[in-house]
Each structure stands twice: as structure tokens, then as C-alpha cells.
């Protein structure tokens, strides 16, 4: 990939992209915040002329407005990460322990008897990373995979250390129990991000993983609309030797 700093045309394009995202965030956030404020006023209003049906409509509108604001915030973070305006923190952590903590709080699709279980190493993956952003990234990835399952199934988050060419990485394979190894063995391709209901959480998660020197991918499809591609994720992050 060419270095933007070495190409004036790419540099200008990146600058324009960053400014466009910043403007879009501002233009969306301002009216959404105003609407959200008025809806909160209506929710607190004790005026008896508002019927129960109308109050429910106000509540639903408030939820949708909050969702729009959350997406705008995600768009803002994407623009800042792409523009180099924010830096990821570098705290010492054990990635496998963090993943366990995140997985225990994910309950997506449990109403359809779809469950997330952990497998592999419980600890032993020291990295330097941004803990809050990594939590949000893994939460989004887990929820995206669980949402793909139509009915009763078990999704595994398999944690393992992989050494290759003198480099050790922490790898997490998220897939149905019977397809974990197949998902890992297939050639990796860009993660399948075109999923409804998750806002910009997945593009943001990919940038956070890449910002730590890692990669978020899917197994290469063998057929059109391959369920293994949509229903699996492989996350790889380099083990960091922390300075003491």
C-alpha cells in the first residue's frame, strides 16, 4: 500500500476525505441533538393531554434518535482514526483474558438458543493496547456473528497462540463449533461488514484491530453467499514484548 505522505494526490484525497467526514458528523449531530432534546422534554412532560399511545410513540422516536446519534459518533471515530487525529492507548493487557470478559457479557440471539462459548487458552497473550476500544471492537464482532445464526447453535471463540516466521500472534477464531478449524484453514479475505442493525460498529472494529497491528478477516467464500464467510471471523493481533 502506498504511503499517503509520499504521494501529494493521495495526501490531498485523504485530507478531503477527513474534512468531508468531519463536516458530515457536524451536520448530522446538530439536528439530531436538537430533536433528541425535545423528545426528552416530552418524555418528562406531565401534561395529561398526551395519551399513552402518543407517549409510546415519543419513546420509540427517542430510541431511534439515540441510535442515529450513536452512528454519528461511530462515524466521527472512523474519521479521526483514518485522519490520525486520535491515537490508540498502549496499556499492558492480556488479550485472552479481555476476550473472556467481553464474551461473558454478550447475550445476542440467546432468545433463539444461539450461545457463545470460549475455547482454548485462557491467558498468555500479552499485548499493549487500548482496552476500551478493544472491548467495543470484540463485542461488535461477537454480536455480528451471533446474529447470523437462524436457530439453535453454539458459536465458539477459539483462542490460540500461533507462531509463524519468528512472530507470535494471538488468534481468535469465531465460528460454529463444527467449522472453527475450517474457517481458520481457508484463505483469509476482508471481513464481511455488510450487515444490518450494527451501524458502523464493524468498520470501526476493523480499524481498531488494524491500529494494533492486527487483522480482522473472514474465510474466503467457496460459493456465492457462503454461510461460513458471513458466519465466521478471524482476528489476529501480534504479541507485544512490553518494556519493563
Q: For 73-122, what is each residue's pLDDT tens digit?
A: 999 999 888 888 888 999 999 999 999 999 999 998 888 999 999 999 99
Cβ 92 vs Cβ 242: under 8 Å:
yes
Q: Higher model confidence: residue 19 or residue 6?
A: 19
Q: What is the CATH number of domain 4-82?
A: 1.10.287
Residue spans per domain, the chain: 4-82, 91-238
Is 70 exceeded by the pLDDT of residue 37? yes
List, for residues 119-151, the tens digit of each pLDDT value. Answer: 999 999 999 999 999 999 999 999 999 998 888
Architecture of domain 91-238: 2-Layer Sandwich (3.30)
Greatest mean pLDDT among 5-14, 15-24, 37-46, 100-109 lies in: 100-109
Among 12-21, 23-32, 160-169, the minimum mean pLDDT is found in 12-21
Question: Which grid cell sits at 203?
Answer: 468498520
State the pTM of this model: 0.82
Amino acid at each position: 500500500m502506498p504511503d499517503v505522505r509520499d504521494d501529494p494526490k493521495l495526501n490531498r484525497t485523504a485530507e478531503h476525505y477527513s474534512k468531508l467526514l468531519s463536516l458530515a458528523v457536524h451536520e448530522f449531530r446538530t439536528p439530531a441533538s436538537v430533536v433528541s432534546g425535545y423528545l426528552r422534554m416530552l418524555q418528562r412532560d406531565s401534561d395529561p393531554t398526551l395519551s399513552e399511545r402518543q407517549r409510546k410513540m415519543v419513546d420509540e422516536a427517542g430510541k431511534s434518535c439515540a441510535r442515529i446519534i450513536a452512528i454519528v459518533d461511530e462515524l466521527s471515530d472512523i474519521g479521526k482514526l483514518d485522519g490520525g487525529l486520535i491515537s490508540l492507548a498502549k496499556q499492558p493487557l492480556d488479550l485472552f483474558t479481555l476476550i473472556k470478559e467481553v464474551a461473558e457479557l454478550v447475550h445476542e440471539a440467546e432468545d433463539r438458543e444461539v450461545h457463545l462459548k470460549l475455547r482454548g487458552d485462557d491467558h498468555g497473550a500479552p499485548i499493549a493496547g487500548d482496552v476500551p476500544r478493544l472491548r467495543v471492537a470484540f463485542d461488535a464482532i461477537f454480536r455480528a456473528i451471533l446474529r447470523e445464526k437462524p436457530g439453535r447453535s453454539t458459536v465458539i471463540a477459539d483462542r490460540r497462540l500461533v507462531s509463524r516466521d519468528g512472530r507470535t500472534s494471538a488468534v481468535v477464531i469465531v465460528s460454529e463449533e463444527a467449522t472453527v478449524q475450517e474457517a481458520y484453514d481457508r484463505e483469509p479475505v476482508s471481513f464481511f461488514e455488510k450487515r444490518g442493525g450494527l451501524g458502523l460498529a464493524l468498520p470501526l472494529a476493523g480499524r481498531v484491530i488494524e491500529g494494533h497491528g492486527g487483522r480482522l478477516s473472514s474465510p474466503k467464500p467457496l460459493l456465492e453467499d457462503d454461510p461460513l464467510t458471513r458466519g465466521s471471523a478471524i482476528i489476529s493481533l501480534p504479541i507485544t514484548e512490553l518494556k519493563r
